């Protein structure tokens, strides 16, 4: 059939429908809902739905709030664990009746304080970091909250601290571990924490979505490659049960079997 056999009205109608279809496709593609992964104190601070979540669920200790606001003054504030994620992990720690915890990566110690508050009075959190510059920010708040006696801060490479805990005979004596440090060593941190955590214990791994970069890791981006590699390996790891959550920048919960 040629255009000569089509009426002018039919031709105009067909073209109009085509334009509407194309416009609808691109408009719909542009407006289609997408999942936004963000921390409440970064991109999420202007998200009405995130603010709804916070106003209807956050029960932040007064000293925790003080430390959070102090941390917001720092240029590296994006490194702080999102308060909604910290509260989730504290609730999980209470649920499994955690008494001993490990934190790999402290920054200003917001989550350290959060976990210390969740532990019983005779509990302990071994907090691993390499910088006193930032941990010194948190120390006065730990003291103000009355939990500094629960926090065993180790300023040295975390792998060394984890090895020392193993050498001291503390394998399978910890209830909870949180990994939020350099990403190149994320697999090593996981393996060592898995040895230190008891059966039924929990390992939480932060930044597993890495701002969405894990969708298409660049071969030259060692951090993203390391995260994606661990994510894929955890799916096949028969030593754990796991859930990957879209909280903060993504957190994986690995329950040791």
Residue 174 — φ and ψ, nearest 5°? Answer: -95, 150
What is the token pair recorded at 24?
A: 């609808």
Q: What is the predicted pLDDT for the residue at 13? A: 46
- Contact in structure between 235 and 225 (CB atoms under 8 Å): no
Residue range 229-239: mean pLDDT, rounded: 98
Given pLDDT bands bounded at 50, 70 and 90, which one contains residue 28?
A: very low
Judged by average pLDDT, the poorest of 42-51, 91-100, 119-128, 215-224 is 42-51
How far, in Å, are 25, 175, 251 from residue 210 at the CA level? 30, 26, 10
Element containing residue 203 per DSSP (H, E):
strand 197-206
Does 239 have pLDDT greater than 90?
Answer: yes
What is the chain's mean pLDDT, rounded? 88
Could you give the CA distance from residue 245 to residue 203 in angstroms, rounded to a whole number? 13
Could you give the CA distance from residue 82 to residue 80 in angstroms, rounded to a whole number? 6
- Contact in structure between 53 and 84 (CB atoms under 8 Å): yes
- Contact in structure between 233 and 205 (CB atoms under 8 Å): no
pLDDT tens digits for 185-208? 999 999 999 999 999 999 999 999
- Contact in structure between 54 and 40 (CB atoms under 8 Å): yes
Q: What is the predicted pLDDT for the residue at 43? A: 60
pLDDT tens digits for 146-179? 999 999 999 999 999 999 999 999 999 999 999 9
Residue range 89-95: mean pLDDT, rounded: 98
- Contact in structure between 124 and 102 (CB atoms under 8 Å): no
């Amino acid at each position: 059939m040629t255009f000569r056999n089509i009426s002018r009205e039919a031709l105009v109608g067909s073209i109009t429908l085509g334009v509407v279809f194309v416009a609808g496709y691109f408009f719909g593609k542009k407006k289609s809902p997408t999942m936004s992964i963000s921390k409440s104190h970064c991109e999420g601070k202007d998200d009405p739905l995130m603010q709804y979540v916070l106003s209807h669920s956050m029960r932040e200790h007064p000293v925790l709030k003080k430390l959070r606001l102090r941390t917001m003054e720092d240029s590296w504030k994006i490194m702080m664990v999102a308060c909604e994620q910290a509260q989730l992990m504290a609730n999980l720690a209470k649920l499994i009746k955690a008494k001993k915890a490990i934190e790999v990566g402290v920054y200003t110690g917001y989550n350290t304080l959060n976990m210390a508050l969740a532990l019983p009075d005779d509990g302990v959190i071994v907090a691993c970091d390499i910088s006193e510059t930032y941990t010194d920010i948190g120390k006065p708040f730990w003291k103000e909250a009355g939990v500094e006696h629960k926090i065993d801060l180790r300023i040295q490479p975390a792998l060394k601290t984890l090895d020392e805990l193993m050498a001291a005979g503390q394998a399978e004596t910890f209830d909870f571990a949180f990994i939020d440090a350099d990403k190149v060593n994320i697999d090593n941190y996981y393996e060592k924490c898995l040895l230190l955590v008891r059966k039924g214990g929990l390992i939480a791994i932060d930044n597993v979505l890495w701002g969405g970069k894990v969708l298409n890791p660049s071969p030259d981006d060692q951090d993203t490659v390391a995260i994606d590699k661990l994510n894929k390996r955890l799916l096949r790891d028969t030593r754990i049960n796991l859930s990957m959550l879209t909280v903060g920048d993504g957190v994986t919960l690995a329950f040791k079997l």
